[in-house]
Structure 1
Amino acid sequence: MEHTADGSLPQPLTPTASERQWAALAHLSALVLALMTSWIAGAAGVLAAVVVYMIKRDDSPFASAHAREAINFNLSMFIYACVATAIGIALVGATVLTLGLGLLVTLPAGLVLVLAIAAIAVAWLVCSIVATIKAWNGEEYRYPFTIRLL
């Protein structure tokens, strides 16, 4: 990191009210669109954050960073939902293929899968709300459980 003329580290610029609003909009619009289209079809949440990113990427490093975070997080949650769906289908398939005898194995695994999906959904909701509040307050935020693609 570059030092200023007096040898100290430069202080980060405080984002403007407009930048904070755009950053919060990236998280909030992703949350709202994902909820409106159901959690499994949460790709709409990615689309909402992409729109904010495309609009602000050259104007505001703060807003574009938050939009990138929202894109990565919502895309990660969508990937996790797809994996959980595939596992669920495999469990049902294993039960059917074994004529119900596999239920001894697939039922406990299915219950664990349902609990994992519920935990992911709650984490997604809570983290999205926290990110929106942090952006509104002009603070940086890094989502947990995120695959960094952008």
Structure 2
Amino acid sequence: MMSNSTGNSGEDPNLGQRPPQQPYQPAAPTPVAAVPLTETEDRQWASFAHLGGIISFLPSLIIWLVFKDRGRFTDQEAKEALNFQITIAIIYVIGWILTVVLIGGLINLAAFVVSIIFSVLGFLKAKDGQAYRYPFALRLIK
């Protein structure tokens, strides 16, 4: 008969025991490069950045953040629309402050009308693939 060094009669010393557990380590996410926009998609998102200005500056901001690295035209036009919408937002704040002296309502109404007109003009130009530059805007986003 053969004897093993543990003195057991041929039994595995780890029988019935769990192997030591390693701490859980999730797999590192693999960065995926964003797919560039086609020319049609580039024009589409650029024009939506202008048109979204009718609502507020948020659509232009979101479009710029999501698509700035995927399309040159979208990057350019969304920045332009965002700068204009930030300018309009500042004018709204000034109008609200001046409501105390009763001129603020007129300022806000004028800003609203101007915002709609220029946003639609920007949409129409960008839809056709032409860059649009607003007649006035603070160029805060470069």
> What range is the shorter-chain TM-score in?
0.5 to 0.7
What is the TM-score when the length of structure 1 is the normalising length?
A: 0.63
Measure, in 2, the Cα distance between the counterparts of 1:113 and 1:51: 29
- Determine whether 1:19 maps to 2:42: yes
In structure 1, the residue matched to 2:31 is none
**Same amino acid, percent of matched pairs:** 29
| Structural mapping, 1:58-137, within 5 Å | 58-89=69-100, 91=101, 110=102, 112-137=103-128
Q: What is the aligned-residue RMSD (CA, Å)?
A: 1.7
Uncovered stretches (5+) of structure 1, i.e. residues with no partner = 1-14, 35-44, 92-109
Measure, in 1, the Cα distance between the counterparts of 2:106 and 2:61: 30
In structure 1, the residue matched to 2:52 is 29
SS at match of 1:130: helix
- Greater helix proportion: 1
SS at match of 1:140: coil
Q: 1:52 to 1:114 in 2, by over 3 A?
A: same
C-alpha displacement of 1:58:
1.1
Please identify the structure whose Cα radius of gyration is greater. Answer: 2
What is the TM-score when the length of structure 2 is the normalising length?
A: 0.67
Instruction: Report if the CA contact (8 A) 2:125-2:132 is conserved.
Output: yes
**1:93-126 CA distance string (max 9 Å, x none):** xxxxxxxxxxxxxxxxx3x544443322211110
**1:29-69 CA distance string (max 9 Å, x none):** 232xx2xxxxxxxxxx2221111111211111111111101
Measure, in 1, the Cα distance between the counterparts of 2:104 and 2:92: 11
Which structure exhibits the higher relative contact order, with contacts defined as CA atoms closer than 8 Å and separated by 6 or more residues?
1
Uncovered stretches (5+) of structure 2, i.e. residues with no partner = 1-37
